Amino acid sequence: MDKKLSAAASALTDTEINALAAKIKSLSLPVSGVCGWREAQVMAGGLALEQFDPATLASRLAPGLFAAGEVLDICGACGGYNLSWAWSSGRLAAHSAARYLKEGGHA
């Protein structure tokens, strides 16, 4: 790839995009340690739920912004509940965002 890293994705050829994807897929990041249990999980915090439409997970403050998972201020017991929320809210937000774009950026 001979283009600068700051080039817009739309300026890249299919060959350049495939080469970049191959480099990203082969990137190795070795684990050098852990921080311990006190820092292992996010327990609370995130974007305020009342700022998002529960039917679509669309932001009430920023049109076109959708949120899901633990980026929202929602807590669940360990044991799969947080994973269930992450998957189901991710699906809802993705479908809502696709609908938003299909309708020309209108809620």
From first to last of the 107 residues of the chain, give the pLDDT tens digit.
455 667 788 888 899 889 888 998 899 988 888 777 676 665 567 899 999 999 999 999 999 999 999 899 887 666 677 788 889 999 999 999 999 999 988 65
pLDDT value of residue 38: 75
Q: What is the dihedral of CA 55, 58, 63, 66, to 10 degrees?
A: -150
CA gap 35, 2 in Å, rounded:
39
pLDDT value of residue 50: 95
The pTM (predicted TM-score) of the whole model is 0.59
Nearest CA to 69 out of 80, 58, 92, 85 is that of 85
pLDDT value of residue 106: 66
What are 8's two structure tokens?
Answer: 């817009």
pLDDT value of residue 48: 93
Q: Using DSSP, how many helices (H) and how many strands (E) does the chain show?
A: 2, 0
pLDDT value of residue 81: 74
Nearest CA to 101 out of 56, 46, 70 is that of 56
